[in-house]
Structure 1
């Protein structure tokens, strides 16, 4: 039987993303988040308007979206409740966040130079997506309490790097979902994927049929 409920959050399960950005002093920031979805070579990020990551993306108009696998869960967890903002915003202070300038060192992760943006890639993450900002939109603009606190950022992917171990045999442009094990955040807890449950009718459609002009644009 269903009941009417009021959970404080509705994070039913999305992949964790480590967003790497460049600070104003040219040092690097690295922040985990999971409010993201993709369509083609674009994605929408939901971020606090007051976060260091948001500040850096708006200033530089770019970032790298690094997708960790389940193997990187401990590194991701070390970054939880840390911020690159100093002083720590009041809302994060109340949640027990602390200022941490050395995010890569804390997570024991390695920055790698990107090709199309100034932010670094994360060596340890099997998926690394260089991205540029294409649009900024306010969320909850109708709410006097929430207005100005949350932004959604439209990012266009400009370069994709994939660890060979997650690719289908003989297919350099196709990820094997039986090999790729993304780190999932569900109601603030870490999970991974299980085995495939059932053949998918959608999987019978060639992926190339979903290709958008953004791929050609990224080749320039």
Structure 2
């Protein structure tokens, strides 16, 4: 039987993306997000307007979309409740966010120079997409508190071991992306790590216990 629960969150399951961008002073910002989808060589990103990444994309018009594997969940979770914006918005403070100027260091991640854009890649991510912003569209109801960024993928870097030998295709069996499902981290269909984000958003936890 179907019911109408009035869902407040519609994160049914999408890959986590670490967006790297450049701050006004030239330093790198890194933001985990999971509102992204691809078609051909284009991608649409949904971001809240209060974040540093949104300001950076509007100004710099470029970024790198770094796709972490499920095994990188600990690094992603460490930066989940941080922002590169020094004046942390009040609504983020109430969820537990804090300002962090060096998210690469906090996550134990390494900056890697990109080929075609100034934003860095995340060396540990097995898939990295260098992108330029093509268009930015306000959305999110009458308040317009979000922006949909249309980006063009200029160059894709893929860990060689993920490719089907002799082809330019990623092996879907070998590639295990980190997925966010209702604010919880999943890989290979299993919950892989407790989520700071779920705590910050007061999401109920009904996760299977992990062995150890």
Q: The TM-score by the shorter chain falls in which range? A: 0.7 to 0.9
> 1:26 maps to what in 2?
26
Q: TM-score, structure 2 length as denominator?
A: 0.87
* TM-score of the superposed pair, with normalisation by structure 1: 0.84
Q: Distance in 1 between matches of 2:187 and 2:140?
A: 31
2: CA distance, partners of 1:120 / 1:41? 20
**SS of the residue aligned with 1:155?**
strand
- Pairwise mapping of residues 112-127 of structure 1 onto structure 2 (< 5 A)? 112-127=112-127
Find the counterpart in structure 2 of residue 155 from structure 1: 151
Considering fraction of residues, name the structure with more strand: 2
Secondary structure at the aligned position of 2:9 is classed as coil
Equivalent residue, structure 1, for 2:16: 16
Where does residue 165 of structure 1 map in the other structure?
161
Match of 2:88 in 1: 88
User: Aligned equivalents of 1:70 and 1:159: distance in 2?
Assistant: 23
Q: Which ranges of 4 or more aligned residues in structure 1 deviate by more than 2 Å? A: none
Q: Is residue 99 of structure 1 aligned with residue 96 of structure 2?
A: no
Q: Per-residue CA shift, 1:169-189, capped at 9, x if unaligned? A: 222x10000100000000000
Which digits, 9 at most, give the CA deviation of each residue in 1:102-127, with x for residues without a partner?
10000000001101110000000000
What pairs up with 1:1-220 in 2 under 5 angstroms?
1-141=1-141, 143=142, 147-171=143-167, 173-194=168-189
CA distance in 2, matches of 1:125, 1:118: 17
Q: Which has the larger radius of gyration?
A: 1
Partner secondary structure for residue 151 of structure 1: strand
Question: Which secondary structure does the structure 2 equivalent of 1:73 belong to?
Answer: helix
> What 5-or-longer segments of structure 2 have no aligned partner?
191-212
1:140 offset after TM fit, Å? 2.7
Ranges in structure 1 where 5+ consecutive residues have no aligned partner: 196-220
Distance 1:140 1:66 in 2: 25
In 2, the alpha carbon distance for the partners of 1:115 and 1:96 equals 35
Q: What is the aligned-residue RMSD (CA, Å)?
A: 1.2
Aligned-partner Cα distance in 2 for 1:27–1:4: 46
